[in-house]
Amino acid sequence: MATIPTEPRGGRLTDGPHGRSAADAVRVEPLPRHVAIIMDGNGRWAQQRGLPRIEGHRQGVTSVRRITEHCVRLGIEQLTLYCLSSENWRRPASELGFLMQLLGHYMVEEQNLLMRQRVKVAIIGRRDGLPPETVADVDQTVERCAANDGMRLCLAVNYGSRAEIVEAARRLAREAVAGRIDPEAIDEQSFADRLDTAGMPDPDLLIRTAGEMRVSNFLLWQISYAELWVTPVAWPDFTESHLDEALAAYAQRDRRFGGIGRP
């Protein structure tokens, strides 16, 4: 079957699915089930303040915490954050080293908060190339949060959508050669089931901070029908109210999925 997203659910803010008070949450409906964010502009944020780029990444972690908490409060089912692309290896080794360290620290430091918020953590992207200690911190956090029943926080680390698609094709080819799948039986669902995001809903809303009008190899298959929202605000300055603004814009969209839309 086609992987067109189901209608987003609305009216979930007064009694959030995770039993949390929604007192601070702005009521917007329908609410996206899945929000994906290209967290961009950390480097520019720092440079505009005369700071090294890494300070922008450090500040960006504060936004991650803030936005994760807000999504939990709102009752969003999944938040996917683009943390490191497979193309980001083109950056200086010092910046990459800092990013790896930051990711490892975030994973460890955030665990108690994620547990309290009943967040389960998922990782998409390639593990190879990441320092073993970062992988260990990531694995430990994923494992500790595995039984949580709240929002899924999916972190795209060393992620590239084209590579993910090629890998899915390779998996299907192997299965076909082994006689476990009939090539004629391959459909959109069997393809989606072999992506890193297997079992996750497609993003309903894709947000990009810092103004670039491109998707930079992020979830190319999965965003087929996502609503796009780009803000000039750099990620370290992105607050709950910016997210509310995006959600309000999303609620006004007429998602037609190729049909003729609202009467």
What positions carry a catalytic annotation?
A: 40, 88
Q: How far is the CB of 81 from ligand IPE (least distance, A)?
A: 8
Q: Answer with the entry of Mg ion, ligand IPE, none that 206 interacts with (C-beta below 5 to 8 A by kind).
A: none
| Residue number with CB closer to ligand IPE (30 or 52) | 52
Position 202 contacts Mg ion (CB under 5 A): no
Q: From the CB of 52, what's the least distance to ligand IPE, in Å?
A: 11
Shortest Å distance, C-beta 40 to Mg ion: 4
Out of Mg ion, ligand IPE, none, which partner does residue 212 contact, by CB within 5 to 8 A per kind?
Answer: ligand IPE
The alpha-helical segments, DSSP class H, found in 125-195 are 132-144, 161-177, 188-192
The CA distance from 155 to 145, in Å, is: 14
User: What is the x/- site pattern for Mg ion, positions 29-58, by CB under 5 A?
Assistant: -----------x------------------
The binding site for ligand IPE (CB under 6 A) comprises: 38-44, 82-85, 88, 99, 210, 212, 214, 216
Q: Which is nearer to ligand IPE, 38 or 192 (CB)?
A: 38
Distance of closest approach, residue 23 Cβ to Mg ion, in angstroms: 35
Which of ligand IPE, Mg ion, none interacts with 141 (beta carbon under 5 to 8 A by kind)?
Answer: none
C-beta of 133 vs 212, nearer to ligand IPE: 212
| Pairing label, strands 205-208, 152-156 | unpaired
- Please choose which of ligand IPE, Mg ion, none residue 82 contacts, taking the beta carbon within 5 to 8 angstroms, the exact cut-off set by kind: ligand IPE
Nearer to Mg ion, 40 or 204 (CB): 40
Distances (CA, A) of 30 to 10, 75, 77, 218: 4, 12, 13, 24
Element (H, E) at 121: strand 120-124
Give min distance, CB of 227 to Mg ion, in A.
22
Q: Which does 78 bind (CB under 5 to 8 A by kind): ligand IPE, Mg ion, none?
A: none
- 93 C-beta neighbours (distance < 10 Å), count: 8
Q: Are 25 and 74 a contacting pair, CB within 8 Å?
A: yes
Contact 98, 57 (CB under 8 A): yes
Decide if 255 contacts 83 (C-beta within 8 A): no
Q: Rounded distance, CA 129 to CA 145, Å?
A: 24
Residue (40 or 196) nearer to Mg ion, CB: 40
From the number of C-beta atoms within 10 Å of its C-beta (0-12, 13-18, 19+), residue 262 rates as: exposed
With tokens 């309000």, the residue in question is 248
Residues making contact with Mg ion (CB under 5 A): 40
